[in-house]
Structure 1
Amino acid sequence: MARSQNKTIPTGQSVDSFLSAVQPQAKAEDARVLDALFRKITRFEPVLWGPSIIGYGRYQYRYKSGREGAFLATGFSPRKAAHSIYIMPGYADFGHILSRLGKHKHGKSCLYVNKLADIDLEVLSELIRAGLDDLAQKWPVEPT
């Protein structure tokens, strides 16, 4: 089956330029902290995916349906309302970590944090590592 085209793909745009444009200043400062944290945990260089997601690592997937593609392994986006933190393939098995994280909301693969002061960054580090380890059991994770 032909490979489906994801809408969210690496753009080649500068991550530093993107981070420099984040507003307000408090959100930009949190985004810089997140960038440093993701770099430290993943040991991957960041890549801008789509207009606003900073991704670390990538994986190739192929579902039973035949749909296949590549996507970021983990990352974040400093959105206006909250930081969106992406753990692939999702948060279903991480309740024991989320319970210690602090103030947050989450969907299937996205964690929402208003500001980093609301959460424990050591626990977030643990969550990022656990997410990558879980993903690597399904699909190989590679540098971007």
Structure 2
Amino acid sequence: MTVVEPVANVSQSRVERYISTLDDPQRKAESEALLALFARVTDLPAMIWGTHKVGYGRYAYTMDGGRSSEFMIAGFEPAKKHVIVYLSPDFEEFTAPLEILGKHEKGKSCIFIKALKDVNLAALEEMVRLGMASTEKNYKTSES
């Protein structure tokens, strides 16, 4: 019987490969910092959502028109103008960490951060933690 050995003992995950291809050194460094932050908070594996989003877990929801869909419980996207951090749909209720977060803009269920150095990372970590708990409480969730 022939045993085939892997070419490399440790291969990069799809997420790590994606982060390594980012052209902007700032976005690459911020993405690496966010990978560490989300790993601490979520205890879930990172996955690529679409082509540019790094997400953790998934939840099912129904839109106003009755159409059902799924989205990541938490995650981020290293876009050109901002880092987008995806939180729970009710993240604006997390007033304490929002007040000390620093420079950001609010989206529907996300925040836009021009530079990670401009925000309080402990507050961001708390927002991710609160968002995960809220989403897990209010929606049907799964890890993959």
Q: In structure 1, what is the equivalent of residue 121 of structure 2?
A: 121
2:87/2:110 contact within 8 Å kept? yes
List aligned pairs for 1:23-34, cutoff 5 A: 23-34=23-34
Compute the RMSD of aligned alpha carbons: 1.6
List aligned pairs for 1:60-75, cutoff 5 A: 60-63=60-63, 65-75=65-75
Alignment of 1:52 with 2:78, yes or no, is no
1:73/1:132 contact within 8 Å kept? yes
TM (norm. structure 2) is 0.85
- The SS at the match of 2:73 is strand
- Tell me whether 71-80 or 82-91 shows the greater mean CA deviation: 82-91
CA–CA distance in structure 2, aligned partners of residues 63 and 114 of structure 1: 29
Larger radius of gyration: 2
* Cα offsets for 1:35-59 (capped at 9, x unmatched): 1111110001111001100000101
Q: In structure 2, what is the equivalent of residue 16 of structure 1?
A: 16
TM (norm. structure 1) is 0.85
* Cα offsets for 1:67-88 (capped at 9, x unmatched): 2122111100000001000012
Unpaired segments of 5 or more residues in structure 2?
Answer: 1-12
Aligned residue-pair number: 132
Deviation at 1:26, TM superposition (A): 1.5
Identity %: 31
Deviation at 1:64, TM superposition (A): 6.3
**Runs of at least 4 residues of structure 1 off by over 4 A?**
none
Structure with bigger helix share is 2
Q: In structure 2, what is the equivalent of residue 143 of structure 1?
A: 143
1:92/1:108 contact within 8 Å kept? no
Call closer, same or farther: CA 1:64–1:106 in 2, change over 3 Å. closer
- The SS at the match of 1:22 is coil
CA–CA distance in structure 2, aligned partners of residues 92 and 119 of structure 1: 16
Alignment of 1:102 with 2:109, yes or no, is no
1:90/1:110 contact within 8 Å kept? no
CA–CA distance in structure 1, aligned partners of residues 19 and 137 of structure 2: 31
* Cα offsets for 1:1-37 (capped at 9, x unmatched): xxxxxxxxxxxx8111110011211210110000111
Unpaired segments of 5 or more residues in structure 1?
Answer: 1-12
- The SS at the match of 1:27 is helix
